[in-house]
Amino acid sequence: MTADTRERLIESAIDLVLTSGYQAVGVKEICQHAQVQKGSFYHFFPSKRDLIIEALNRQWARHTQLLLDPVFNESIPPLDRIVKMFEVTSAHQAHLQKTYGRVFGCPFGNLAQELSTHDEPLREKLTLIFHEWTAYIESALLEAVTLGELSTNVPLGETAQSVLAYLEGVMLMAKTYNDPFLIQRNAQNAKLMIQNTII
């Protein structure tokens, strides 16, 4: 058993569970996809939950590196970063649709809908991911306030959560309609929602 075996299990969990759902995929299917023996699975992970938490860590690291860090940088005006987040997400979902034939939606949102009321450790992991994601958005809103582009009366934390909730909802609709560009078409609405926030 090697580190490569562990890597194959994590990647298989990402390929299968984070696209098809937690309940739809068992340890047997993960092992078959990874081409490893079941005993090897339990050598590295005490349970499927432990593997999924590691897969979530890996997927979140990729999400931040590929989708969030390039968007939330100082070269883009702060409120335009919100728009760009929707556009980049749309392009990513379009790539998945072209590759696999369907829009998958948000892997974190999908698992949250499926498991948040049934599995406390996974709920806590997903909560942490959403908290970190919201922090990206809130940092852009704070900069917009500093630059005078947004009222100082806007509740930054709540507004950032609303933006992420809106993105998650739009991704759910894009998944339902199998239309990744639905996300892009709603990008400007997110900016308008922020600008029209009233307390």
Q: What is the mean pLDDT of residues 35-40?
A: 90
Q: Which of 50, 58, 41 is nearest to 107 (CA)?
A: 58
What pLDDT shows up at residue 199?
A: 47
The CATH number linked to 107 is: 1.10.357.10
pLDDT in tens, 58-94: 999 999 999 999 999 889 999 999 999 999 999 999 9
Measure CA 115 to chain center. Answer: 15
Amino acid at 85: M
User: 117 and 171 in one domain?
Assistant: yes
Task: Report yes or no on 125 lying in a domain.
Answer: yes
What pLDDT shows up at residue 198?
A: 54
Task: Report yes or no on 102 lying in a domain.
Answer: yes
Task: Report yes or no on 35 lying in a domain.
Answer: yes
Contact 78, 69 (CB under 8 A): no
Q: What is the mean pLDDT of residues 28-57?
A: 94
Domain count, the chain: 2
pLDDT exceeds cutoff 70 at 1: no
Find the domain containing 7 and state its range.
1-56
Task: Report yes or no on 61 lying in a domain.
Answer: no
pLDDT in tens, 111-168: 999 987 788 999 999 999 999 999 999 999 999 999 999 999 889 999 999 999 999 9
* Residue that the structure tokens 């990874």 belong to: 34
User: 140 and 94 in one domain?
Assistant: yes
Amino acid at 76: I
b/e sequence 145-177, b meaning 16+ C-beta within 10 Å: beeeebeeebebeebbbbbbebbbebbbebbee
How far CA 93 is from CA of 16, 97, 114, 134, 175, in Å, comes to: 16, 6, 20, 20, 9
Interatomic CA distance for residues 73 and 81, integer angstroms: 8
Q: What is the mean pLDDT of the chain?
A: 93
Task: Report yes or no on 17 lying in a domain.
Answer: yes
pLDDT exceeds cutoff 50 at 191: yes
Task: Report yes or no on 161 lying in a domain.
Answer: yes
* Residue that the structure tokens 């499926």 belong to: 114
